[in-house]
Structure 1
Amino acid sequence: MGPLIRGTALLNFQALVSSLGGDGKALLRARGIDPAAAGDYDAFLSSAAAAAVVADAAEAMNCSDFGMRLAREQGVQILGPVAVIIRNAETVGSAIDGVSRFLHNIAPTDHVELIRGSEQAVFTLTTSVRQLARHDQWVEKGLGISLDAFRLMLGVDFVPVRVTMQHRRISPNSSYWEMFGCPVEFEAELNSVHLPHRVVNQTILGRDAAALALAERYLAGIGPDQEAADHVRDLTRRLLVVNQASLAAAARAMALHPRVLQRRLADSGTTFEEILDDVRKELAWQLSATGMQVSQIASALGYSEQSSYTRACRRWYDESPRQLRARRRGQGTSDER
């Protein structure tokens, strides 16, 4: 099925389709989505199917701005407890930092980041949903939700400096102007919302520090069915076999942006480099008992130079690869250390 997303990603989908004269349930079922799950925070959907059904609805209803319309119908409430962080963080900048940290609990394929410049700040949205070419509507929905978040923090009259999108224009310019109230550029490098730099440090009025703490504690306790660190450990073992053990390769296999994976591992108290080192240590122990040559073990562990393996082996076991091999061969196949 691939990465899962909270059912709130399709909140009000059926109502919008119905208002346009369509059958939302039929569209959902055609993508294998239970209509009862669409809009339910406690339900999980295939992220690829959710994005695809939004594109399907735009085509079926001949509604090129369907994604932006759906964003208006949903608002920031689809983010669940992440929306509590947006409402109650100390500043706009800290709110975005909080969203960046916890968004994977709601939408693991999406990643946001705030790039602070001297005159402007740039809020970026990246999605790793498969078949991205079919998901222009999904990106426009995401940017629409982002705008709603900024207006929640800065007031309903807030207007960005400009908005950029990586895909080509798919709706009339008037639709984008109505949505964002500012110039929108297409086929750009990033999906982004440009903000005056001064707003980053603006205090969010009416915030509730206690509500913020509760939301952060709740989100910090949410984990995927399989902990990210365990998943990455399994992937790394397999990737080493084909000499492709890297953060980028692991993130690609999990359909995540590398920065998202880094954050998820950080939440688990580790890093990709630490996991890779630990997997190599375990494999070195196992392979040293097989009779493989030291050079072959170094290669199997993904080291381009045998000297790198030698240094690592001394750090792990306080002995050279040859000494480890001799000790392990003397122990036979025992796993006692």
Structure 2
Amino acid sequence: MDVDISRIQLLTRTLEDHASATVVEQVLSDCALTRSDIEPPAKRYSAHKEALFVRHACDALGDITFGARAGLEFSSSSSITAYISKYSRDLKQVIENTARFHGIIDPALAFNLRLSGNAASLEADWKDPSFSRYHRRTEFLLFGAIARMRALTQLNLNPIEIRFQHTVGQHQATYQKIGGFPVTFGAERLEIILSLPSLETPIPTYDPSLRAHLVEFGERLLAERQSPRQKTRAQIEGLITDAMPGGIVQVDDAASQLGLSPRTLARRLADEGTSYREIVEDLRCDLAQTFIKNGMHLSEISYSLGYSDQAAFSTAFKRWTGQAPTAFRKRVSHPLS
């Protein structure tokens, strides 16, 4: 699954402003990326590598807010959706464009505009649930959405609130300071809340005839585009993360929710080179490390990942990483430059 190249170029430039060339090259290497992969004439690259880049950059800097900070620098893009937005009438039309055409540039995430009596919500849903584990990329994308709104309206526009489903412990205040607006974690939905009057904010570069031409082109791209077939693994990861915190979906229940027999589910996962147990272990290991970096208490992490007690979680974590959770927390709190 590929995404527009402009985002990784921004991320790389932002990291270069905060780290040595050696660190930047190491982060690229950790993501299996080279300079030629992200420089002209390249136009697209792997969404998973983007997610890993944000994660490794945060780790290298010892700053989990790097993705959010970089997102607020996201002012321009050369994608079809960016051009349609540039020539739209107002912010509402921009958001409607995003909901309609965003899948062209990022098939993993879908947006929907929902209006209520006193506010508007730009809701985000994972079309590929395997990306929900990448908290730093999620922050980058939503803070980036605010930056794009500001660039298009040429105003320092602030949302009423941004809401994330994951938690970041004591770091929440830092995110609010970075954005200059309320940021909530541990919310029910992933969304940006906007005032109704803000939707009427005009776009200075509005051009109705050019927009109509670009929308027609976008519709053709949508008609020609084949939706990527979601792997069974991604569907399973979505079921597991939706059931958190506090429990892990059992294999028979997962098969039932997918309309499969346990035997058919096992065969499909084997065809993808994995098993249900491996998916659960990999997801738990990955989320555990992210939760520790997020500042969550070990008891809270244990519960979130479905362990009976903290001791059981600590034993599993040491099996995965070769070190105790407390040692891991200490190490990531003091990264090597």
Which residue does the alignment assign to 2:32?
32
Which residue does the alignment assign to 1:81?
80
Report the secondary structure of 1:115's partner residue: strand
Q: Does 1:189 align with 2:188?
A: yes
Cα deviation code 1:73-107 (max 9, x no counterpart): 332x2362312222221232222111111111111
Pairing 1:28-177 to 2, within 5 Å after superposition: 28-38=28-38, 42-75=42-75, 77-78=76-77, 80-128=79-127, 131-132=130-131, 134-169=133-168, 172-177=171-176
1:208 deviation in Å? 1.4
1:17 deviation in Å? 2.0
1: CA distance between counterparts of 2:164 and 2:39? 26
1:154 deviation in Å? 4.2
2: CA distance between counterparts of 1:84 and 1:16? 23
Is residue 129–residue 235 contact of structure 2 (8 Å, CA) maintained in 1?
no
1:142 deviation in Å? 0.8
Is residue 87–residue 207 contact of structure 2 (8 Å, CA) maintained in 1?
yes
Structure 2 stretches lacking a partner, 5+ long: 239-337
Check 1:17–1:149 CA distance in 2 against 1; reply closer, same or farther (3 A cut).
closer
Which residue does the alignment assign to 1:213?
212
Check 1:215–1:175 CA distance in 2 against 1; reply closer, same or farther (3 A cut).
farther
Whichever residue aligns with residue 215 of structure 1, its letter is L
1:169 deviation in Å? 1.9
Is residue 110–residue 124 contact of structure 2 (8 Å, CA) maintained in 1?
yes
Report the secondary structure of 1:126's partner residue: strand
1: CA distance between counterparts of 2:78 and 2:55? 21
1:129 deviation in Å? 5.1
Is residue 12–residue 24 contact of structure 2 (8 Å, CA) maintained in 1?
yes
Is residue 7–residue 41 contact of structure 1 (8 Å, CA) maintained in 2?
no
Is residue 161–residue 195 contact of structure 1 (8 Å, CA) maintained in 2?
yes
Whichever residue aligns with residue 64 of structure 1, its letter is I
Check 1:82–1:227 CA distance in 2 against 1; reply closer, same or farther (3 A cut).
closer
Report the secondary structure of 1:36's partner residue: helix
Check 1:133–1:153 CA distance in 2 against 1; reply closer, same or farther (3 A cut).
closer
Identity level (%): 16
Report the secondary structure of 1:26's partner residue: helix
Check 1:45–1:59 CA distance in 2 against 1; reply closer, same or farther (3 A cut).
same
- Which of 3, 13, 16 in structure 2 is aligned with 1:15? 13
Is residue 72–residue 146 contact of structure 2 (8 Å, CA) maintained in 1?
no
TM-score norm. by structure 1 comes to 0.61
Cα deviation code 1:147-177 (max 9, x no counterpart): 1122234442322111111111267344322
Which fold has the larger relative contact order, with Cα–Cα distance below 8 Å and residues 6 or more apart in sequence? 2
Report the secondary structure of 1:68's partner residue: helix
**Alpha-carbon RMSD:** 3.1
Is residue 31–residue 53 contact of structure 1 (8 Å, CA) maintained in 2?
yes
Report the secondary structure of 2:73's partner residue: helix
